[in-house]
Structures are given as C-alpha cells and as structure tokens.
Chain A
Amino acid sequence: MNYLLLIYANEAQTDAMDPAAITALVNEYAEFTKGIIQAGQFKAGDRLKPVSTASTVRIRNGKTAITDGPFAETREQLGGYYLVEAKNLDEAISIAARIPGAKFGSIEVRPIWPPAR
C-alpha cells in the first residue's frame, strides 16, 4: 500500500535555526532519503517552500477566488512530504519515525486510495 507522509513543523522555529544546524539537518534528510530508496520504499519526496509563498484557490459560483496564504492557519505548517510504499501501517509508521523532522515536528501518515480502475 502507498502512504503519504506529511511533514509538519513550526516554521518560526525552523527559521530560527543556525546555519550549522540547518546543514546537519539537510545531511540527515539526504541520508534518510538514500536509505528508503535503497530499501525500495521511496516513490517521491520533496521539501516545500514556506507558507508565506502559498496561495489558495477555490471555485465558488463558477468564479475562481484566489487568496494569499495556506488553507488553514495552524501552529505547525506543512513543510514537505514523502510518498512511500509499505507493507502495512506499522512499516509506514517506522519509516515516518525515522524522518529527521519527527524529532521536532509531526509526521501525519495517510494511506492512499489505490487508483480507480
């Protein structure tokens, strides 16, 4: 089954990190990503630009409404994701637990519907 692992963190907190800590974190992510590629679990994964760059689109009464900012204001913001293939929820959870951001943010684990036939 495929799972989307959504990485949330407090942007204010990550923005305040010093350059050495950021380098260390980037290296940790690279190491982690390499590991799940080798294990055959990786399907996709990206880091997102901050929510200050986000726009939200809605169509209401046939009209497109665009607003500045994310869909919801929350304490932690979506900052990246991995799409992984796992045998079951336990395997997906164990991958999520190894994402470096899990140590200070939160990872939401969402199963993905199989494609409609």
Chain B
Amino acid sequence: MTAGKAMDEIFRREAGRVLATLIRLLGDFDRAEEARQDAFAAAIEQWPCAGIPANPRAWLVSAGRNKAVDRVRRDAIYQSKVLHLERASAEADARVFIDEEDEAAFGDDRLRLIFTCCHPALGSDAQIALTLREVCGLTTQAVSRAFLVSEDTMAQRLVRAKKKIREAGIPYETPPPELLDERIDGVLAVIYSVFTEGYAVTSGTDLMNEALCDEAIRLGRLVDVLLPRNPAITGLLALVLLHDARRRARVSDAGNLILLEHQNRGLWNQAQIAEGLALVEDSLRLPGRVSPYSVQAAIAALHVRAPDNDSTDWRQIVGLYEVLLRLQPTPVIELNHAVAVSMVDGPRSALDLVESLAARGEMKDYHLLNAVRGSLLHRLKRTAEAREAYLRALAEAKVEPERRLIAARIAQIDAG
C-alpha cells in the first residue's frame, strides 16, 4: 500500500471519531469542523516526511485542538472565549493522553454526537439532516439531494440547528439513565426515517435512494456497537438489514417496482439475511420491553425465510401484526394487517378491515389504501369498483414506478 493510500484510509476511518472528540473539546460544531480540516491539512503536510504517527487519531485530535486554539487567539474578540478554550485545552491535554489507546472514550464521543444530533428539542427534519451531515459525514450537497431541497435551504437548516444546540444549551452528553430509553427511541426514529426515505422514496422518478439505505444500516450498526444488547436497537438493525436484503429484487432493470410475491428470491442478499435473522432472535431474547422494531423484524424474517410466496407462514404474520397493533396502533400497520388477513381468511374479511379503516378517514390521500382496496376488490371479481379504487390510488401516488404498477393493474382489468 502506498503512503498516500494508507493516509486516505486513515482519514476515512477516523474522520467521524476525530470530529466527535473535537466537538466535545471545543464545544462548538463549526469550530470543530474547521479544526478537523486544519488537522488533516497538517497531516498531509507532515506525515509524508515524518511518517505516520503510532496513534494517528490522537495526533489528529491534538493537532486539531491546537489549531483551534491558535485560530481563536488570532481572531479573538472575546477574551473569555480564549480563556475557556485554554482551560478546555489543558483538560484536553490530560485527557487525550490518558485516552490515547482508549477506544471506549472515542466511542463515547460518537455516541454523544448522535444523541445531540437527535435531541428532541430539534425538529425532526433538522435531526435527520444533522445526523447525516455530522455523524455520517455526508456533504451538505448530498444531504440536500436526499431531502429534495436546494443546497442553500439545507445549509440554512443546518446552521439553524447548530445555532439552537449552542444557544439553547443542548448538551453534548449521553443522556442520564432515566432519559436513556426515551432518547434511544428518538435516535432509532431518525435512523428508521433515513432508511424509509431511502427505501420508499416519497416522490420522484427513482424508487430507491440506495445511499440513504446504506447510511441507515451504518448508523444502526454504529449504535448497536456503542450501546450493545439493547433490544430496540438490535431489532431496528435486524429490520433494516432484512428489508435491504431484498433491494436488488425489488426493482426491475427498467426501474419498475416488483412486489414481494413476484420477486426473484435468488437475488436476495443471503449473507445479509443470515445476519438479520440472527439479530431478530437476539432482539427477542434480550431482557426489556418488546420493541415494535423487533416485531416488524420478526415479520420481515418470516417473509425472507419462505422459499416462495405460497409457503409464507401468513397465519403467524397475522399474529405478529396483532402484537404490533397492540404496541403501536397506527393506520399503516392496520393496513398491513389487513393484507396479511387476506392471505389467511381471504379478501372478503380483509376488505371489511380496509373499509372500516377508510371510513375513519385517517388515511386520506394515502395511495396504498386505495391500491390495497383495488387489489382486494379485484380478487373478489368486483372489477368496476376495483378499477375505481385503482384510479384513485393512481391520482394519489407520487413515485413514478408505483404509478406505473397501478396503471398496469388498470390495464389488466381493461383487458378483461
């Protein structure tokens, strides 16, 4: 390996950890980002001659912190800021050297960063954007693309969020035990949103934003390593791995959506499925309350375990949806439950469930409600009503491949 390549790899591996530690030492996101850039620049200058230091991470943190102190001294307007930083720097000296070989201390900094970015006092869009930018290290441009907003808009959103962290005193800390479960739920909601936004893009021409799915899995793995043996975290990681394992089989070469029942199961990622299945078991065995993510992962596990669609254990899936409805009674889960019921008791009973859901008006403008209704009516040979439901779904659907799938169903009815 060339020296340049070795350095690139160190930078890639250490970027997130160095930033997280610098935020703790400097107490400011922007200053820490600047300091990290300075540290990497210094490394590019010095390492080729002096050699790569024994502990590159500690070197980078030290260099970044020194550069930040220099910078503040240079453009110091407020004397107090220099004093604060010098104090932080003296503490840091002690800490960096104690921590030199201490992986755990750096791990804690990344965990602090995650909890700060996902703090409930920030808006949920801001939480997701900050996490992608600061924890995953995505560029502002990449984050803005994921949200389908302009780079300027995203830059402003990030500036506002960082300002609130600073001005409102959002701590850079792992929450105390009495808040931990609640805050973990918030972190998991962010990871899940990143994944679903990637997996089921809410509008646009493409069906998936694979980069977002990858980031969600990386985040899930990171949190699972940092807070091991937590049933909700393990359950979420299992869930995203099992869904994502079907990624290749979900879209045709032409970019069309392929439903689970028609997917080529040979294209599923078996290594990822094996990992996901083991994690589902772990998450259900761990002590603590059962997490809705674990139950959803158990449902996903039953789907991927079946060698083909017909041998899927629908009865058990219906049972799991009933557990899920008790933990998390949402209209989307009710709709999924109805679909599973149709596979056990037939389309008639499922249609009753869907109609009662529709009558409550909670899923107005949600295209999948009418798509499911259309499919059930079609199975009941009530084709005129099926066609009407599909037409409504078509008017509500916003993603092109989903629209094409619904249009194909209508064409199928018209062809008799």
Interfacial residues, chain A to chain B (CB-CB below 8 A): 1, 3, 86-90, 92-94, 109, 111
Q: Are B121 and A93 in contact (CB under 8 A)?
A: yes
> How far, in Å, is A108 (CB) from chain B's closest CB?
12
Q: Is A88 within 8 A of B167, CB to CB?
A: no
| CB atoms of A88 and B121 under 8 A apart | no
Smallest distance from the beta carbon of A43 to chain B beta carbons, Å? 15
Shortest Cβ gap from B391 to chain A (Å): 41
Q: Which of B168, B171, B175, B176 has the most CB of A within 10 A?
A: B168
* Smallest Cβ-Cβ distance to B166: which chain A residue: A111
Q: How far is the CB of A111 from chain B (nearest CB, A)?
A: 5
Does B51 count as interface, using CB distance less than 8 angstroms?
no
**B173 & A90 in contact (Cβ 8 Å cutoff):** yes
| Chain B minimum-CB-distance residue to A87 | B171
With a CB–CB cut-off of 8 A, which chain A residues contact B167?
111
B179 touches A (CB below 8 Å): yes
23 A-B Cβ contacts within 8 A? A1-B169, A3-B169, A86-B169, A87-B171, A88-B169, A88-B170, A88-B171, A88-B173, A89-B119, A89-B121, A89-B168, A89-B170, A89-B171, A90-B170, A90-B171, A90-B173, A90-B175, A90-B176, A92-B169, A93-B121, A94-B179, A111-B167, A111-B168
Q: List residues of B whose CB falls within 8 A of some A CB.
A: 119, 121, 167-171, 173, 175-176, 179
CA distance A87 to B175 in the complex (A): 13
Q: Which residue of chain B lies nearest to A92 when distances are taken between CB atoms in the complex?
A: B169
**Nearest chain A CB to B166's CB is how many angstroms away?**
10
Q: Which residues of B contact A3 (CB under 8 A)?
A: 169
Identify the closest chain B residue to A117 (Cβ): B80
Report the nearest A residue to B171, measured CB to CB: A88
Chain B interface helix/strand/loop/mixed: loop
Nearest A residue to B170 by beta-carbon distance?
A89
The number of residue pairs between A and B whose CB atoms lie closer than 8 Å in the complex comes to: 27
> Which residues of chain A come closer than 8 Å to B179, judged between CB atoms?
90, 94
Q: A90-B179, A111-B167 are in contact. List 11 more A-B contacts (CB 8 A).
A: A3-B169, A86-B169, A88-B169, A88-B171, A89-B119, A89-B169, A90-B170, A90-B171, A90-B176, A92-B169, A93-B121
Q: In the complex, which residues of chain B have a beta carbon less than 8 angstroms from the beta carbon of A88?
A: 169-171, 173
Name the residue on B nearest A93 (C-beta): B121
In the assembled complex, which residues on chain A have CB atoms less than 8 Å from the CB atom of B176? 90
B contact residues around A92 at 8 Å (CB): 169
The complex places the Cα of A109 from the Cα of B121 at a distance, in Å, of 10
Which 6 pairs show the lowest CB-CB distances between chains A and B?
A: A88-B171, A88-B169, A89-B169, A1-B169, A89-B170, A111-B168
C-alpha gap A94/B171 in the complex (Å): 13
- What is the CA–CA distance of A87 and B171 in the complex, to the nearest angstrom? 9
Least Cβ distance of B184 to chain A in Å? Answer: 15
Residues of A within 8 A of B119 (CB): 89
Interface centre among A86, A89, A94, A109 (most CB of B within 10 A): A89
Q: CA of A88 to CA of B169 in the docked complex: distance in angstroms?
A: 5
**Whose C-beta in chain B lies nearest to the C-beta of A88?**
B171
In the complex, what's the smallest C-beta–C-beta distance from A116 to chain B, in angstroms? 12
CB distance from A103 to the nearest CB of B (A): 18
Assess A111 versus B121: contact at CB under 8 Å? Given A90-B175, A90-B179.
Answer: no
Give B182 Cβ to nearest chain A Cβ, in Å: 11
Give A74 Cβ to nearest chain B Cβ, in Å.
Answer: 21
Q: Which residues of A contact B168 (CB under 8 A)?
A: 89, 109, 111
Q: Which residues of B contact A87 (CB under 8 A)?
A: 171
A93 to B173, alpha carbons, bound, how many Å?
15
Distance A3 CA – B167 CA, assembled complex (angstroms): 11
Residues of A within 8 A of B121 (CB): 89, 93
CA separation between A67 and B167, bound complex, in Å? 34
Q: Which residues of B contact A86 (CB under 8 A)?
A: 169
- B114 to chain A minimum Cβ distance, whole angstroms, is 15
* Closest chain A residue, CB of each to CB of B183: A90
Q: How far is the CB of A87 from chain B (nearest CB, A)?
A: 7
CB A44 to nearest CB in B, in angstroms, measures: 19
Measured CA separation A94–B121 after assembly (Å)? 13
> How distant is the Cα of A86 from the Cα of B121 in the complex, in angstroms?
16
In angstroms, Cα B302 to Cα A116, docked, is 63
Residues of B near A90 (CB, < 8 A) are 170-171, 173, 175-176, 179
In whole Å, how far is A40's beta carbon from the nearest beta carbon of chain B?
A: 17
Give Cα A1–Cα B179 distance, bound, in whole angstroms.
Answer: 21
